[in-house]
């Protein structure tokens, strides 16, 4: 009797635990599951989705214990990063798709080729090109030009799949292989990128990891630009933003597979199609030297970041005055003493020292950074090669945005303008107009944003091309505003070169103002991006042609948070939108071939959204 009573109590407690403890399935609040690890850039997939505004995902490890058939069934779409599958995982994923699930994979294990309707061939293509079929739903609105990818892509033949994009060994090769394919498998659908997309995006944006710590371009000083030498960048593609086009192809693939219309956050605040950031390296100048440029910029309703190298030449009162006007004052660390062979140890010391100086003198915490001469160390503390060493050092010191990637190639041994043409066709040689976080060489995301200084005064001053300096800016802005080649454009205008840059800079600021594009500090952009990236979509439900969900925005910001609702889904069209039971007008905009309605809300709150289709 006593034993039965004990057993009864045991089972009662166990039952109560089952009720109180949430299961993995009960925690599913998003439609997208990413199966990935920090290796092979798998978890960087989340950074891509955040940049594309698809903040409705969660990440699980393949070996984390949750990857069961019943758990996967809770998600309508799974993204599988590059990995080797055991037989159990293979069977679970095949069953998931066969029963009606949707799967996207990056360089999938050949063991599940059948799911994607492809047959493995011998060989692979490394650092080749991809060409999108713009006649497909996934490819519409994207470029038809071939684009670089980095890393390896496996060769396959088709066995039921249709091609979304093709692989080529070079930009003009006639022989081609499937590059991105789509297949129907059982009741479900599967899309395979036959190269590792997140890895390629990182390598396109950050450069060749094998060049870390090596002087490549012959310009004095080790810099991030050395990572793009020896043909790493096909500069004839700069104006199409190669990395961004391929991220958009992933977005289109996700939308095409989704069984419900998926909301996205917009790249920019409100309904803008472009942003501008202006910064100034203070070098050895004093506050009296800065005043004319600061007054000119302020008079144009623009703001600017000043990176100070010598705090002794700038008073607390001057800093307080301009910070009070919305300008940013940050540090310009000087490690040029070892510019040719910068080390982790000394750069660590230099960063920490000037950070303390800025804090003690001005009471400011530096959050964005540009080094003097763009010095970029290529090794970790233990000497291991690391093309993201500078970003890791910045993360260590609490710096959240880096601006050391810039367009400068004067007198390089790589040939004339190896980073790309100047003037109206000046583009983004890192393949992106967007600001994203860095990744470690093994693939783990680093909590530091990479802001590319595209429009660099010294490049044009040494080329004696003031007009082209303005037109480089105009070309980037026009493509962003009118052609969907979206860019956050960073301008660098040194104070000690203001004699050259004043006239073209004022034309840039005037052109931005004329087009309603704000000019921000780097810190302003950082705060906006953090706010956008921390916002989420959750608790989605699609029933009776109505999509309901919560928009949760934990961070406040002076700029509006804009989200996009697809204008069409399957055979239905958007009919009405409600935010907290209030009707909102449907304002349609075509974005890379897909139509959306844009809705702006005030950040720092939670909203109940309802979108009805008919």
Alpha-carbon span 92 to 604, nearest angstrom: 40
Together in a domain, 393 and 496: yes
- At 506 the pLDDT is 98
pTM above 0.85, yes or no: yes
Residue 464: inside a domain, yes or no? Answer: yes
Q: Identify the DSSP state of 388.
A: T
Q: Which of 502, 530, 558 is the last residue of a domain?
A: 530
- Residue 606: is it exposed, middle or buried by C-beta count within 10 angstroms (0-12/13-18/19+)? middle
Same domain, 346 and 492: yes
- Closest C-alpha to 97, from 80, 120, 121, 119: 80
Residues 314, 284: Cα–Cα separation, whole Å: 10
Q: Are 344 and 380 in contact (CB under 8 A)?
A: yes
Measured over the CA atoms of residue 263, residue 600, residue 519 and residue 396, the dihedral's sign is negative
pLDDT per 10-residue tile (average), the chain, 614 residues: 41 37 55 95 98 97 89 96 96 97 98 98 97 98 98 98 97 93 98 98 98 97 98 97 98 97 98 98 94 98 97 97 98 97 98 98 98 98 97 98 98 95 98 98 97 98 97 98 98 95 98 98 98 97 97 97 97 97 96 97 98 98
* Cα–Cα distance for residue pair 246/195, rounded to 1 Å: 11
Q: What Cα–Cα distance (Å) separates residue 521 from each residue in 145, 376, 401, 433, 524?
A: 34, 22, 12, 17, 5
Residue 425 lies in a domain: yes
d(CA 233, CA 227): 10
pLDDT of residue 27: 60
Q: State the pLDDT at residue 19.
A: 35
CB burial of residue 507 (10 Å; 0-12, 13-18, 19+)? middle
Residue 133 lies in a domain: no
Examine residue 503 and state whether it is found in any structural domain, yes or no: yes
> Which of 137, 153, 135 shows the shortest CA–CA distance to 197?
153
Rounded Cα distance between 560 and 552, Å, is: 14
The contacts of residue 288 (CB under 8 Å, 6+ apart) are: none
**How do beta strands 572-579 and 582-584 pair?**
antiparallel
CB 54 within 8 A of CB 254: yes
Question: With b meaning 16 or more CB within 10 Å and e meaning fewer, what string describes 213-235?
Answer: bebbbebebbbbbbbbbeebbbb
Query: 492 near 455, Cβ under 8 Å?
Result: yes
509 is a domain residue = yes
- Specify the CATH number for the domain of residue 342: 3.20.20.370
What are the φ and ψ backbone dihedral angles of 74, each rounded to 5 degrees? -75, -15
Q: In whole angstroms, what is the distance from residue 189 CA to residue 489 CA?
A: 38
| Shared-domain flag, residues 400 and 437 | yes
**Predicted local confidence at residue 509, as pLDDT:** 98
The predicted structure's pLDDT at residue 65: 82
Of 530, 556, 582, the position where a domain reaches its end is 530
| DSSP secondary structure letters along 174-226 | S--EEEEEEEEETTEEEEEESB-HHHHHHHHHH--GGGTT---S-SSS-BGGG
Strand partners, 536: 552
- Calpha distance 122→82 (Å, rounded): 19
Q: Do 491 and 609 fall within a single domain?
A: no
The three-state secondary structure class of 8 is helix
129 bridge partner residues: 148, 168
DSSP class per residue in 591-612: ETTEEEEEEEE-SSSEEEEEEE
Total number of domains constituting the chain: 2
d(Cα 47, Cα 195) in Å, to the nearest integer? 18
Host H or E run for residue 227: none
Same domain, 520 and 388: yes
Q: Are residues 501 and 600 in the same domain?
A: no
Residue 480 lies in a domain: yes
Q: How far is 16 from 253, CA to CA, in rounded Å?
A: 43
> CA Rg, the chain, in Å?
25
Phi-psi region of 301 (alpha: psi -120 to 50; beta: other; left: phi over 0): left
Q: Tell me the longest C-alpha to C-alpha distance in the chain.
A: 98
Residues 439 and 352 in one domain: yes
Q: Is 312 found in the same domain as 362?
A: yes
Predicted pLDDT at 432:
98
Whether residues 482 and 574 share a domain: the answer is no
Quick one: 561 and 429 in the same domain?
no
Residue where a domain stops, chosen among 505, 530, 555: 530
| pLDDT score for 63 | 85
Q: CA dihedral defined by 74, 78, 80, 81, rounded to 10 degrees?
A: -110
* Residues in CB range of 432: below 8 A, 6 or more apart: 204, 205, 241, 242, 243, 244, 452
Kindly list the distances between the CA atom of residue 28 and the CA atoms of 50, 70, 79, 293, 349, in Å, as whole numbers in the listed order.
18, 12, 15, 53, 45
> Cα separation of 227 and 160, whole Å?
40
Across 158-167, b (16+ Cβ under 10 Å) vs e yields: eeebebbbbb
Query: Does 453 map to a domain?
Result: yes
For residues 429 and 555, membership in a common domain is answered with no
Residues 278, 514 contacting (CB under 8 angstroms): no
| Axis crossing angle, helix 389-396 with helix 344-362, rounded to the nearest 10 | 40
Separation CA 341–CA 363 (nearest Å): 32
Judge whether 103 lies within some domain. Answer: no
Q: What residue numbers bound the domain in which 542 lies?
A: 535-613
CATH of the domain at 568: 2.60.40
CA distance 192 to 178: 10
> Are residues 462 and 581 part of one domain?
no
């Amino acid at each position: 009797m006593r034993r039965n009573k004990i057993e009864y109590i045991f089972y009662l407690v166990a039952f109560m635990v089952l009720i109180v403890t949430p299961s993995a399935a009960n925690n599913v609040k998003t439609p997208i599951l990413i199966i990935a690890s920090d290796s092979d850039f798998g978890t960087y997939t989340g950074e891509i989705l955040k940049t594309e505004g698809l903040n409705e995902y969660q990440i699980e490890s393949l070996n984390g214990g949750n990857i069961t058939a019943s758990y996967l069934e809770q998600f309508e779409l799974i993204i599988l990063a590059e990995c080797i599958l055991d037989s159990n995982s293979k069977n679970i994923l095949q069953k998931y798709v066969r029963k009606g699930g949707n799967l996207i994979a990056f360089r999938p294990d050949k063991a599940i080729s059948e799911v994607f309707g492809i047959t493995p061939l011998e060989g692979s293509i490394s650092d080749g090109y991809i060409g999108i079929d713009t006649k497909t739903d996934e490819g519409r609105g994207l470029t038809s030009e071939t684009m670089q990818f980095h890393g390896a892509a496996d060769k396959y033949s088709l066995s039921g799949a249709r091609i979304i994009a093709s692989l080529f060994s070079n930009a003009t090769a006639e022989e081609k292989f499937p590059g991105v394919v789509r297949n129907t498998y059982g009741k479900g659908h599967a899309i395979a990128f036959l190269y590792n997309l997140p890895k390629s995006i990182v390598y396109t944006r950050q450069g060749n990891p094998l060049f870390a710590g090596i002087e490549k371009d012959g310009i004095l000083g080790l810099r991030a630009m050395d990572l793009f030498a020896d043909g790493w960048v096909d500069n004839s593609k700069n104006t199409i933003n190669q990395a961004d086009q391929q991220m958009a192809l992933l977005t289109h693939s996700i939308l095409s597979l989704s069984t419900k219309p998926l909301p996205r956050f917009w790249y920019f605040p409100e309904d803008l199609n472009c942003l501008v950031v202006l910064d100034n390296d203070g070098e050895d100048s004093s506050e009296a030297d800065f005043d004319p440029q600061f007054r000119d910029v302020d008079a144009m309703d623009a703001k600017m970041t000043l990176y100070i190298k010598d705090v002794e030449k700038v008073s607390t009162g001057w800093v307080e005055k301009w910070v009070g006007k919305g300008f940013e004052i940050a540090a310009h660390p000087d490690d040029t003493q070892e510019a040719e062979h910068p080390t982790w140890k000394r750069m660590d010391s230099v960063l920490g020292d000037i950070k303390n100086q800025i804090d003690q003198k001005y009471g400011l915490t530096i959050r964005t950074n540009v080094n003097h001469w763009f010095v970029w160390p290529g090794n970790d503390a233990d000497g291991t090669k690391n093309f993201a060493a500078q970003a890791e050092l910045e993360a260590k010191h609490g710096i959240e945005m880096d601006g050391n990637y810039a367009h400068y190639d004067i007198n390089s041994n790589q040939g004339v303008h190896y980073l790309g043409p100047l003037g109206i066709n000046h583009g983004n040689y890192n393949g992106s107009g967007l600001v994203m976080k860095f990744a470690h060489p093994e693939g783990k995301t680093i909590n530091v944003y990479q802001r590319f200084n595209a429009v660099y005064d010294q490049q044009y001053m040494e080329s004696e091309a003031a007009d082209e300096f303005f037109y480089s800016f105009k070309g980037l802005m026009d493509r962003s505003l009118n052609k969907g080649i979206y860019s956050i454009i960073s301008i660098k205008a040194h104070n000690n070169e203001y004699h050259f840059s004043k006239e073209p800079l004022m034309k840039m600021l005037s052109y931005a103002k004329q087009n309603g594009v704000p000019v921000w500090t780097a810190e302003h952009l950082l705060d906006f991006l953090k706010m956008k990236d921390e916002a989420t979509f959750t608790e989605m439900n699609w029933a009776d042609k109505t999509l309901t969900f919560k928009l949760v925005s934990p961070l406040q910001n002076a700029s509006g948070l804009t989200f996009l609702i697809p204008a069409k889904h399957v055979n239905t069209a958007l009919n009405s939108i409600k935010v907290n039971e209030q009707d909102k007008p449907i304002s349609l905009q075509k974005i890379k071939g897909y139509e959306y309605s844009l809705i702006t809300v005030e950040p720092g709150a939670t909203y109940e959204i309802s979108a009805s289709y008919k």
